[in-house]
Amino acid sequence: MTETSNPNETATLTGERADLLQTLGMHRNFLRFTTQGLSDEQAGRRTTVSALCLGGLIKHVAEMERLWVDFIVEGPSAMPDFDAMAEGDQAARGDEFRLLPGETLAGVLAEYEAVARRTDELIAALPDLDMDHPLPEAPWFKPGLRWSARRALLHVIAETAQHAGHADIIRESLDGAKTMG
């Protein structure tokens, strides 16, 4: 696996954009690596008290990355209206963390790769990492905050790294395999 979806793209970039792509690519690889050699059944298995499974984590990280890239491109209108979420919306969001019937590990990994490719292309082509948008209204954002494209990408990197750590724990609980060490 490469550190980015398109290693040729990284070769032409320097400085901050190359750093962003390489760092995001590294954490994506840690996350994907935790699923090597697993069956769909294993990828859907919960191994801790949480509802998390490896296939669900891949789905969630892909959706989170897609959402933040949409935010960079379209602004807060690309994000869900968190205050208007109904119980059914919350249930659907919970499905994001599970491998549902009919879903396969290969399928969620392929979707994640497509999302990653789009993000990598955006980072390479975005005219200005300082362009910003107001954050959508949500209980976890202070009113009036704005995030630049850079800040949103740093958030994607942090989320990916955090969930790669979760995935490592789940995989180790599943069969003793470790991402590192």
Reference 68, options 143, 17, 136, 19; nearest CA is: 136
Phi then psi dihedrals of residue 74, to 5 deg? -110, -15
Please give the pLDDT value at position 34.
95
CB-count burial class (<10 Å; 0-12, 13-18, 19+) for 17: buried
Please give the pLDDT value at position 112.
98
Per-residue pLDDT of the chain in tens (181 residues, 90 and over written 9)? 334 455 444 457 889 999 999 999 999 999 999 999 999 999 999 998 888 999 999 999 999 999 999 999 999 999 877 766 666 666 677 788 899 999 999 999 999 999 999 999 999 999 999 999 999 888 888 989 999 999 999 999 999 999 999 999 999 999 998 877 5
- Work out the number of other CB atoms within 10 angstroms of the CB of residue 42: 18
Please give the pLDDT value at position 156.
98
Structure tokens of 157? Answer: 């990197």
Q: Which long-range contacts (CB under 8 A, 24 or more apart) does 133-136 make?
A: 133/71, 133/72, 133/75, 133/76, 134/75, 134/76, 135/76, 136/76, 136/79, 136/80, 136/81, 136/82
Distance CA 90, CA 77 (A): 19
pTM of the full structure = 0.88
Number of H helices, E strands in the chain: 7, 2
Burial 64-90 (b: 16+ CB within 10 A, else e): bbbebbebbeeebebbeeeeeeeeeee
CB 51 within 8 Å of CB 97:
yes
Please give the pLDDT value at position 89.
65
**Cα angle 69-74-75, degrees, rounded to a multiple of 5:** 90
